[in-house]
Amino acid sequence: MKTTQFCLLLLLCAATKGTKAQHFYAGLGGGYGFPAAKQSLDYDVKSVYSSSGGSTEYNSHPTSFGMGIHTGLFFGYMLNSNLGFEIGASYFIGSKTQFRTEYSNSDINGGSYYSEQTSVYQGKMIRLIPTIRMSVGEKKLRPYMKAGLIVSLGNKLVSTQSYKSSFSLGGGSNSSESINEYTGGISFGFHGSLGFNYIINDKFMLFAECAANCQNWAPTKGELTKSMQNGVDQLPNMDKVDKEVEFVNSYTEGSNTVNNPNEPTTELKFFMPFSSIGLNIGIVMRFGKTSE
């Protein structure tokens, strides 16, 4: 209780100090986020065999779909030279995350066999980020920090699965490709950043910051948008139950439950990591009187 009162007192003092520096500002920027709070979602497998034996190697590489590029705009109001409020909107395009399974055997009935399966994931979302901003200093280089929330809309994850195999005897081969798109749901998280502004003049300044996003997301819908087998489209032969899925918190199945082929299947929600730590740069324009 005392800690809360002390923090409120500090904010009140900061809000009432130097009110002559009140002004609006707007800016644009972008940056790159590296994966944080990673999870082991899948792993790589490589198997090599011959007539004398072989081995299988497993490699785990935890990741976060929050790795990628983001760019956006923000608008804020400084109550004084130290304290302000800001709202930003950014568009995030995730980097592709890939997992691979390979198998080769140089001696199967006198021939060789090879197969490869890859899974590629890429996320996208629009982030709304309301924050409290605290700044210090009166020189050209002014440190600041921001802390607030993340509300993500228009979330989407695309999962591409591909497979190919070949057998040397007779030239036999197979291939397939499928794409699943996961959408729906709102993601909430936390944002924090530390950076500095470089004052160019009374109107413009540059900024650079280290930013952290703590976030995950659970889609509410999934849809199979592509299914090819040896170059032949399989979607026209599929029912809705085979192409669409709805994710829910809970559901009940009876002993006589039969899926309706004309309705989406039902599965439990699952959460995917979108946390990141990265670097941002950009430019800010201040409006109104900014004398401090």
Longest Cα–Cα distance in the chain: 86
Q: At the top level of CATH, which class does the domain 20-251+262-287 belong to?
A: mainly beta
**Containing H/E element for 157?**
strand 141-167
Tokens coding 35: 């994966």
Distance between CA atoms of 243 and 236, rounded to whole angstroms?
10
> Per-residue confidence of the chain (292 residues) as pLDDT tens digits?
554 444 444 444 444 444 456 889 999 999 999 999 999 989 999 999 987 889 999 999 899 999 999 999 999 999 998 999 999 999 999 999 999 999 999 877 777 889 999 999 999 999 999 999 999 988 889 999 999 999 999 999 999 999 999 988 766 789 999 999 999 999 999 999 999 999 999 899 999 999 999 999 999 999 999 999 999 999 999 999 999 999 999 988 887 878 888 999 999 999 999 999 999 999 999 987 654 4
Domain boundaries, the chain: 20-251+262-287
Task: Classify 124 as helix, strand or coil.
Answer: strand
Contact 73, 28 (CB under 8 A): yes
- Structural contact between residues 50 and 60, judged by C-beta atoms closer than 8 angstroms: no
**pLDDT of amino acid 253:** 84
The 8 Å CB, 24+ separation contacts for 202-205 are: 202/286, 202/290, 203/285, 203/286, 203/290, 204/283, 204/284, 204/285, 204/286, 205/283, 205/284, 205/286
Alpha-carbon gap, residue 136 to 211, rounded angstroms: 18
